């Protein structure tokens, strides 16, 4: 099955004469949340290791690309072929060791080349700050990590992980001071955000993806809480009728089971 069939289907859905009323009502802004949702569902299928779901979710994500390209074609801006041509040119340009006979020693060296070429392309397109094109719509943890990496390329960084680790302590102390000083909610939230940003910088120096790490911790919490729920169900009690010590004991049971497995 060719990609052309999907393009034909999308064009039919957007046809003013006989197309789908819902599809015809959409624009770039209304479709954007669906695009983000489908990208997350791809990541979820990968996290679960479910390749059949991944195949389906990749199709849903591809549909989003086709949808945006069709709307752009209707406006005379670009079409799907332009999207494909652009990414092909970019991949060739950013992999000179594959397509232009240059040598690269490692994946880390290739990452450096990639980032350098991105900056050169950006400078050729327009002037602007180093952080200007870090997308606002990224999840906050992911965007914080990217902002930190960008700033580091300009030399604005600690030499090792000890620096951001001290910064975590500093920001935690400032949050404690704000709470002790009866600061207003906005100030406390600001200090809490600074602490999160410091933790993301610390993660970067430890070579940890903070978004992925938090997703894993979320799932860990869900698994352990399900065990607590099952114990509550067996006792026919609610969490408000059981001591915190007992709830913690069940939680520790779940942790021990995970380690045993």
Who wins on pLDDT, 220 or 113?
220
Of 118, 137, 138, give the one whose Cα is nearest residue 128: 118
Q: Residue ranges of the domains in the chain?
A: 3-93, 128-208, 212-260
- The number of residues making up the chain comes to 261
pLDDT digits (tens, 9 = 90+) for 115-167: 777 767 766 665 567 788 788 888 899 999 999 998 998 889 999 999 999 99
DSSP H or E run through 186: helix 185-205
CB < 8 Å & 24+ apart, contacts of 50-57: none
Q: Which two tokens stand for residue 89?
A: 């040119």
CA distance linking residue 77 with residue 28, whole number of Å: 13
Q: Are 13 and 74 in contact (CB under 8 A)?
A: no
Q: Are 207 and 149 in contact (CB under 8 A)?
A: no
Q: Quick check: 207 pLDDT over 90?
A: yes
Q: Which two tokens stand for residue 258?
A: 């995970």
Question: How far lies 232's CA from each of 80, 112, 220, 225, in Å?
Answer: 54, 52, 19, 10
Q: Quick check: 34 pLDDT over 90?
A: yes
- Per the listing, tokens 């997308």 go with 135
Residue 125 has a pLDDT of 64
- The CATH homologous superfamily to which domain 3-93 belongs is MazG-like (1.10.287.1080)
Q: Quick check: 75 pLDDT over 90?
A: yes
CA distance linking residue 111 with residue 197, whole number of Å: 23
CA distance linking residue 44 with residue 244, whole number of Å: 33
Instruction: Output phi, psi for 78, to 5 deg.
Output: -165, 170
Distance of CA 114 to the CA centre of its chain: 19
Max Cα–Cα distance, the chain, nearest Å? 70
Q: Which two tokens stand for residue 222?
A: 């869900």
Whether 3-93 and 128-208 share one fold: the answer is yes
Residue 150 has a pLDDT of 87
Mean pLDDT, all residues of the chain: 90
Say what the pTM is.
Answer: 0.67
Who wins on pLDDT, 205 or 258?
205
Q: Which two tokens stand for residue 176?
A: 């404690």
CATH fold, domain 128-208, is Helix Hairpins (1.10.287)
CA distance linking residue 61 with residue 68, whole number of Å: 11
Provide the CB-side half-sphere exposure for 147 (13 A, CA): 14
């Amino acid at each position: 099955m060719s990609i052309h069939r999907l393009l034909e289907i999308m064009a039919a859905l957007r046809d003013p004469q006989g197309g789908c009323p819902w599809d015809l009502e959409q624009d770039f802004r209304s479709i954007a949340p669906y695009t983000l949702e489908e990208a997350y569902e791809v990541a979820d299928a990968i996290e679960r290791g479910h390749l059949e779901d991944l195949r389906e979710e990749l199709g849903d994500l591809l549909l989003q690309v086709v949808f945006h390209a069709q709307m752009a074609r209707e406006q005379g801006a670009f079409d799907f072929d332009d999207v494909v041509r652009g990414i092909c040119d970019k991949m060739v340009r950013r992999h000179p060791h594959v397509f232009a006979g240059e040598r690269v020693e490692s994946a880390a060296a290739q990452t450096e080349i990639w980032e350098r070429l991105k900056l050169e392309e950006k400078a050729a397109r327009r002037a602007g700050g180093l952080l200007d094109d870090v997308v606002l719509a990224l999840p906050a943890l992911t965007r914080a990590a990217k902002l930190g990496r960008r700033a580091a390329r300009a030399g604005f960084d600690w030499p090792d992980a000890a620096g951001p680790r001290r910064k975590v302590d500093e920001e935690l102390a400032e949050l404690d001071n704000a709470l002790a000083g009866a600061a207003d909610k906005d100030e406390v939230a600001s200090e809490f955000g600074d602490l999160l940003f410091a933790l993301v910088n610390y993660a970067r120096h430890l070579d940890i993806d903070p978004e992925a790490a938090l997703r894993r911790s979320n799932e860990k919490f869900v698994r352990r809480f399900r065990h607590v729920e099952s114990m509550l169900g067996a006792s026919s009690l609610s969490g408000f009728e059981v001591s915190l010590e007992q709830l913690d004991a069940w939680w520790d049971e779940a942790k021990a089971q995970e380690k045993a497995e």
